[in-house]
């Protein structure tokens, strides 16, 4: 029987970043469909594969014994062909730089969750950086959200890793996916609780206190009562701070944060997190702008029947987003290439919107949000 032709992807399409590759890797491992991606990150200041993308490709390849070519740093083209089903087990993945371990985890977690048995992971590299979910966002916002779709992940931070040194590490236990009721997050309900997580690694406790104090003041100025938790964590090779504002609504939870940088004071880190939270609060979307695209893949796996639905339950996921982002629409485009599902995204870019993910043959229209 001839080998299937690879799916061909343009790595510069849409948001044009590493997400295209990460989504394709996970779905290729799950479906067994090979793919080729060209023009990887072509519009980025440093185009081609970076160390974190190379490690993602090699990590997923190790799960399915894939034929892999073009997996060198700087490569603009990569070919990936799985040769067996995903094998659960214990794995250690080391990026070797401050590249994002949460994003690496999101590359391997979906194939392992569908492998039929538990797995244990150790991931080494960066754990807290801007432009990627931090470990605390992953543990406090993302993991509870995807659990409602049937995916259970137990995450534990061993050491924080900040840019540029890295040196962070976290462990993860991946449980087999299980049926859950359909998820409808079109309305978030009233806000119930706001918590400021002020974390420091390799810095004095007074930095955590300064971050927390400024965040609480900014929230108070916005009329929001909040509590703060100051969290010192181990850090072996790097140092930094992180502020994450976790807001719990009646039906969902959001997270808005910022990571310290050489040009930022602790107060500026806190202010960046508060600004992002206030923007979300002023919108009506139930899901924050980052979680919006991160829910899409697990919702599609459910809609494709890869996680059996409970008896009598239609595997349809609906949610509103604070902003329709290029990450969201690009992720939808990649998922459609691998899975036979219907994904509807309503809303203009950067406006509030609504997402519906369902099996093929259903009605994919989305009712407009009320004015």
List the catalytic residues: 327
Per DSSP, the three-state class of 270 is helix
Name the CA radius of gyration of the chain, rounded: 20
Q: Rounded to an integer, what distance in angstroms lies between the CA atom of residue 285 and that of residue 292?
A: 10
Per DSSP, the three-state class of 162 is strand
Q: Rounded to an integer, what distance in angstroms lies between the CA atom of residue 331 and that of residue 322?
A: 17
Q: Rounded to an integer, what distance in angstroms lies between the CA atom of residue 358 and that of residue 344?
A: 9
Q: Rounded to an integer, what distance in angstroms lies between the CA atom of residue 124 and that of residue 112?
A: 18
CA neighbor of 352 nearest in space, from 366, 332, 331: 366
Side by side, which strands form the sheet with 342-346? Answer: 184-185, 317-321, 353-358, 342-346
With tokens 């859950």, the residue in question is: 180
Helix (H) / strand (E) element for 197: namely strand 191-201
Helix (H) / strand (E) element for 255: namely strand 253-259
Q: Rounded to an integer, what distance in angstroms lies between the CA atom of residue 49 and that of residue 10?
A: 14
Backbone phi, psi, residue 252, to 5°: -155, 175
Per DSSP, the three-state class of 276 is helix
Neighbours of 306 (CB within 10 A): 17
Contacting residues for 90 by C-beta, under 8 A, at least 6 apart: 119, 120, 121
CA neighbor of 280 nearest in space, from 242, 320, 243, 250: 320
What is the b/e burial string over 127-161, where b = at least 16 CB atoms within 10 angstroms of the residue's CB?
bbbeebbbbbbbbbbbbebbebbbbebebebbbbb
Q: Is the distance from CB of 4 to CB of 89 less than 8 angstroms?
A: no
């Amino acid at each position: 029987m001839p080998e299937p032709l690879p799916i061909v992807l343009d790595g510069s399409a849409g948001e044009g970043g590493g997400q295209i590759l990460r989504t394709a890797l996970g779905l290729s491992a799950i479906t067994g469909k090979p793919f080729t991606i060209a023009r990887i990150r072509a519009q980025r200041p440093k185009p081609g594969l970076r160390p974190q993308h190379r490690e993602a490709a090699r990590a997923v390849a190790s799960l399915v014994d894939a034929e892999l070519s073009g997996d060198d740093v700087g490569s603009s083209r990569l070919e990936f062909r799985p040769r067996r089903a995903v094998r659960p087990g214990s794995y250690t993945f080391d990026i070797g730089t401050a590249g994002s371990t949460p994003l690496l985890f999101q590359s391997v977690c979906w194939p392992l969750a569908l492998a039929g048995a538990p797995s244990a992971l150790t991931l080494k590299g960066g754990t807290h950086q801007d432009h990627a979910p931090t470990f605390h966002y992953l543990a406090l916002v993302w993991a509870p959200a995807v659990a409602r779709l049937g995916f259970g992940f137990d995450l534990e931070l061993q050491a924080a890793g900040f840019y540029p040194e890295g040196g962070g590490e976290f462990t993860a236990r991946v449980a087999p996916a299980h049926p859950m009721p359909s998820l409808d997050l079109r309305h978030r309900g009233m806000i119930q609780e706001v918590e400021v997580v002020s974390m420091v690694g390799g810095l004095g406790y007074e930095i955590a206190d300064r971050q927390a104090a400024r965040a609480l003041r900014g929230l108070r100025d916005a009329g929001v009562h909040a509590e703060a938790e100051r969290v010192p964590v181990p850090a072996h090779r790097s140092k930094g701070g992180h502020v994450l504002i976790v807001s719990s609504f009646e039906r969902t939870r959001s997270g808005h944060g910022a990571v310290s940088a050489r040009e930022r004071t602790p107060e500026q880190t806190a202010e960046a997190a508060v600004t992002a939270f206030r923007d979300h609060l002023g919108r009506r979307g139930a899901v924050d702008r980052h979680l919006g695209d991160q829910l899409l893949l697990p919702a599609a796996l459910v809609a494709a029947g890869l996680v059996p639905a409970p008896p009598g339950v239609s595997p349809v996921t609906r949610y509103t987003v604070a902003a329709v982002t290029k990450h969201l629409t690009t992720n939808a485009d990649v998922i459609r290439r691998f899975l036979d599902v219907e994904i509807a995204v309503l809303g203009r870019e950067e406006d509030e919107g609504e997402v519906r993910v369902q099996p093929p043959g259903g009605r994919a229209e989305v009712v407009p949000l009320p004015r």
